[in-house]
Chains A and B, each alone.
Chain A
Amino acid sequence: MTRHAKVIACVTSALLALACWAPGAAANERVAEALESARIATRRGDVAGAEALLDGIRLADATPHQRAFLELYRGNVDFMLHQLGEARAHFVAARDVFTSLEAATPGSVTHALDVTAKNVELADAELVRAERLAGRVGTLRTWILGLMTAAVLGVGVLARRARL
């Protein structure tokens, strides 16, 4: 290969690499912006807005790091809406990605991993609590139903006996 040919090949490769990287970088930036907006919307209490922003993110455009935050934020939104099962699933997914990122580059996402792990524990505890409370509500309903049935039967029996 001539010197000229080498230079042309290098420039062409660089241009090709740039052409391939630029749309990806732009997409990543859009994901980053959407994630930041969703985080702010969640803090603001605008759950619907946060959900719309998160729904608008294409997974294919996101880096693993961004995917982890996407899952974390989805979990936060579901948690605020008291959709605990869904929230836990998202937190677990986020924790798994953060764990692998942390393993690959120790110290890179330590704080996010800690937060996410705590969120998983919180969601677990809330799920247990929700189940316990639902059980108590069910017991209350049963008692009321039983009491009403007993009252109706009792009044019926009393009325029947009273007529004799």
Chain B
Amino acid sequence: MPREVGISVSGLAGVAFATGAAVMVVELMAVRLMAPWFGQSQIVWTNVIGVVLLALAAGQWVGGRWAEGWAAKKDGASPGWASPAVLLTGAGAFAIALPSIVPAMAAAVLPDDLRLTEAFPFVSLGSLLVALVGIGVPLFALGAVTPWLVRLSRGVTTEPGRVTGRLLGAGTLGSLLGTFGATHILLTLMGAAGAIRAAGLVLVVIGVLLARTLGKRLRGAWVLVAAALATAALADAAPRTSGGRILEIVETPYQFAYVDEDEHGTRALRINEALDSFHSLYREGELLTGMYYDAFLAPTLASPPTPSGTQRVMIVGLGGGTMARQLLELDPDLQVAGIEIDAELVRLGRQYMALPDDVDVAAGVDGRFGLAASEGPFSAVLIDAYAQQIYLPHHLCTAEFFALVRSKLVDGGLAALNLGGLTRSDPVVRAVAGTFASEFDHVTMARIPNSRNLICLGWRGSDASRGRWGDVLAEHGLDQDVGWLTDATLFGDVPSLADVEILTDGYAPVEALAHASWKSGG
């Protein structure tokens, strides 16, 4: 069989490899581009992966028909590189423009004044819409490339099965490289936008190189299209922020994070879409925040000392360290440790939010793993670990995790859990609080006034430390601001265990519960 100039199995495999790599870079990094608007929850990932698979399937189907149709029109002649070149150039140009397209679309989709409690339909539908356009279009084009490569291979081999296997293998290896390369190299070197642009640029270069079989005028047109899109993409749309003065924006290995400061000097550490929520607060010269953090102070300070004679406190989900700072300001003799999976948040906390150096932080470590590895016992373990604003990480709200927390406490020690929710009947509150209650000897729960949070408290053994809250409040002059803690009428039992399904490592549908919570009014 005559061998067509410019086409070889190695060349085809190379293009398949690059295409596979680009698919994964776009998929993984597009979620990061969407994070400042929609977060990167299970729902967003599901939408993105669903759109990727749909676009690839449609592209592969149409690409196959297209490749065979072309050959039929040309009386069986082998198609050249022209069509794959067009597909690669178009997909590459779109990818280069993606860091501008996603923010523009997301900003149009999300209302400016959206609250966290109202965000669910906008996150689920909005991310789907943005994914359909932003990811669907380039991946449809990339999906159509592989059938073309298989069709082209017919001109250079008499063993189509072997060559097709080689092409598919090369594509999958490319995807492997794209997956690891995107997360471990490109993201660190150039951020999500840079990674997508780099992948797009590679596709455009390959497309333009392959386009040598096109006429000069056509080739020039494609170069112009690519250049126009690339130029449009040069200016990044500003990420969605709260409106305050931005002190620093950072793209961490886990999320998009920033610290802002309002006109009163209050600094907030916010994550991803943030909306009207924040992870940590700090205002120079002020101990209390007026927010839920303040409710944890007196119960923690009243907790019993460890056998070493000191009070040791562990905070799971340290963030920027609001509670740690407050506790050490109130009692410098406390030994405060924290676990925070995102080390960048700890750095932001130390730089902008006065997180004391005395706080012993396990940074870059998962909360459950870090707690298991920590050396107990503790007087109190405070749990304030939220992922993607609205979700408790599922492995941090199961009976097994709360049993681990209990095992790290001294006798009479306190576990305190921050729970987002307005009512006790909220599905998330019921399930998590009920599970929490199953592992402790005494439990109580209160809705924190003027907030959308509840505080859930559990004791290992005696809850006698509760009797000291009033003294602690008075001793530290907190009775004016958090005096409600001594109002027993505001505390009540957690949901009856008979009424809730206990969350376990094997069954913790936190996303579904959060969805039900949103439907029931937050």
Contact = CB atoms under 8 A, between A and B. Distances in A.
Contacts of A58: none
Given A147-B133, A162-B66, A46 B118 contact: no
B65 A159 contact: yes
A13 interface: no
28 contacts: A43-B447, A44-B446, A44-B491, A44-B492, A45-B421, A45-B422, A46-B424, A48-B423, A48-B424, A48-B425, A81-B423, A81-B521, A83-B521, A137-B121, A137-B125, A140-B109, A140-B126, A144-B129, A147-B133, A151-B136, A155-B58, A159-B62, A159-B66, A162-B62, A162-B66, A163-B68, A164-B72, A164-B73
Contacts of B489: 40, 43-44
Contacts of B61: 155, 159
Contacts of A47: 423-425
A150 to B, nearest CB: 10
Given A83-B521, A163-B65, A133 B129 contact: no
Chain B CB count within 10 A is highest, among A83, A151, A161, for A151
A140 B129 contact: yes
Interface string A30-62: 000000000011011111110000000000000
A40 B58 CA distance: 58
Interface in B313-343: none
Query: Considering the complex of A and B, which 10 residue pairs feature the smallest CB-CB distances, nearest first?
Result: A82-B521, A45-B447, A162-B66, A140-B125, A47-B423, A162-B65, A162-B69, A40-B489, A137-B121, A163-B69
B129 A143 contact: yes
Chain A CB count within 10 A is highest, among B136, B446, B490, for B490
Contacts of B65: 159, 162-163
Interface string A60-102: 0000000000000000000011110000000000000000000
A137 B489 CA distance: 40
Chain B CB count within 10 A is highest, among A40, A46, A144, A162, for A162
Contact of B521 (A44, A80, A140, A155): A80
A133 B111 contact: yes
Contact of A151 (B70, B128, B132): B132
Contact of A141 (B125, B133, B425, B492): B125
A115 interface: no
A155 B423 contact: no
Interface of B: 58, 61-62, 65-66, 68-70, 72-73, 109, 111, 114, 118, 121-122, 125-126, 128-129, 132-133, 136, 421-425, 429, 446-447, 449, 454, 489-492, 520-522
Judged by DSSP, the binding face of B is helix
B122 A44 contact: no
A148 B62 CA distance: 16
A80 B125 contact: no
A143 B446 CA distance: 42
A65 B62 CA distance: 73
A17 interface: no
Contacts of A148: 132
Interface of A: 40-41, 43-49, 80-83, 132-133, 136-137, 140-141, 143-144, 147-148, 151, 155, 158-159, 161-164
A46 B491 CA distance: 10
A143 B132 CA distance: 11
Contacts of A162: 62, 65-66, 69-70
Contacts of A40: 489-490
A47 B423 CA distance: 6
Judged by DSSP, the binding face of A is helix
Contacts of A48: 423-425
A40 B125 CA distance: 38
B124 to A, nearest CB: 9
Contacts of B68: 163
Given A140-B121, A140-B125, A164-B73, A44 B136 contact: no
A14 to B, nearest CB: 39
A15 to B, nearest CB: 39
A136 B118 CA distance: 12
B105 to A, nearest CB: 10
A147 B129 contact: yes
B126 A45 contact: no
A80 B69 contact: no
Nearest to A155: B58
A161 to B, nearest CB: 8
Contact of A137 (B122, B423, B429): B122
Contacts of B126: 140
A80 B429 CA distance: 14
Nearest to A148: B132
A164 B425 CA distance: 61
Chain A CB count within 10 A is highest, among B69, B70, B133, for B69
A80 B68 CA distance: 61
A158 B62 contact: yes
Chain B CB count within 10 A is highest, among A43, A45, A49, A80, for A45
B491 A80 contact: no
A148 B131 CA distance: 12
A82 B520 CA distance: 7
A147 B423 contact: no
A127 to B, nearest CB: 13
B62 A155 contact: yes
A151 B128 CA distance: 14
Contacts of A141: 125
A164 B69 contact: yes
A40 B118 CA distance: 26
B521 A133 contact: no
Contacts of A81: 423, 520-521
B506 to A, nearest CB: 29
B444 to A, nearest CB: 10
A119 B522 CA distance: 19
A45 B454 contact: yes
